[in-house]
Amino acid sequence: MASQTMTVPPLTQGLISIKGSYGDWRDELFSQGYYVVKGAIPRDRAIQYQQRAFDWLKSFGTPLDLNDPSTWKAENLPVQSKLNTFDHYGVVHEKFMWDARLEPGVVDTFAQIWGTDELLVSFDSLNVTFPNRKDKPPRAPWPHVDQSPMKRGLHCVQGIINLSHAGPEDGSFMLLPGSSALSDEFWDTQTDSASWESKDWRRFSEDEMKWWESKGLKPVKVAAEPGDLILWDSRTVHWGGEPTQKSDTIRTVIYASYSPRKLATEQALAEKQRVFKLNGATTHWAHDNIYLRPLVAHLPDGTIDPRNRAEPLEKPEMTEKLMKLAGLVPY
């Protein structure tokens, strides 16, 4: 469907500055829409973060046994989203989550992408995907992008701090390499601009996915090891890959995106500070698209989970680096 004439908001200076040829891994990130930075965190520390995530899961006083698949069910877990993520109970601000976000190899990678170390970080989720759960059948793909068609060019680079093995049979990250470069063409030729929303999330239907397929794009399941950092352009079509029946790996990842503080408005910074004080979660974005996700965990029947927590079990150390990344103090 041809689009109506529409003026697309101009890019900001900060976004334009990251374009160009670098002669390193950034060229692949910008051209293919994703890249895996190997060993951004030392493997032994990544495994420690996974164990701390497991300790958090076991802190709710249920019979959950990470070595016994028969206990991997909803009644033994804190409230989890249909996407296998945990957002409630202050988990986004647990010390192990912040320790992972503060890892030099992670922060420095995003500083290299943006050309500045004056960054903000997202307050994003923990994902723990148990394979072969009898009470939760594998979810069908939900291909989407995390950027509005009203934003053109690269506005956000998302990240997965990978804490577990992700092989062909395991839960992992799925995407269409090269789809970011075709983003504008899709919006302008396959959609009506009158339908565009400013919301930085858009799912694609099966029919729409055929258009991407017609361009020769095929899904890739990203392989990764503990300590790897998976990066992708928010315009890249992606979704979570479910484990197959052959997997026995508990996928464990932390979502983290970083972007220059200078891109954030005063309103966005104020909201970010408010969310931090509430121990809340926001979105995949660090400098924009900031809104508070529900704070209180509700059980499937709608009642408040009696295990609900208003703050982390183990609070992070309020270092200067953390406070700058959180947007609490200026650089």
- Rounded to a whole number, what is the distance in angstroms from the first to the last CA of the chain? 46
pLDDT for 12 equals 40
Above 80 in pLDDT, residue 19? no
- Does residue 29 lie in a domain region? yes
Q: How far apart are CA 331 and CA 328, in angstroms?
A: 10
The model carries a pTM of 0.94
- Does residue 8 lie in a domain region? no
Share of the chain above pLDDT 70, in %: 94
- Does residue 210 lie in a domain region? yes
User: pLDDT for 291-309, tens place per residue?
Assistant: 999 999 999 999 999 999 9
Task: Please give the residue range of the domain that contains residue 196.
Answer: 25-326
- Does residue 6 lie in a domain region? no
Domain count, the chain: 1
- Does residue 1 lie in a domain region? no
- Does residue 129 lie in a domain region? yes
Mean pLDDT confidence for 262-284 = 97
pLDDT for 22 equals 86
CATH code of residue 279 = 2.60.120.620
- Does residue 202 lie in a domain region? yes
- Does residue 18 lie in a domain region? no
153: how many CB neighbours lie within 10 A of its CB? 18
Structure tokens at 31: 């051209």
Q: How far apart are CA 97 and CA 276, in angstroms?
A: 13
Above 70 in pLDDT, residue 316? yes
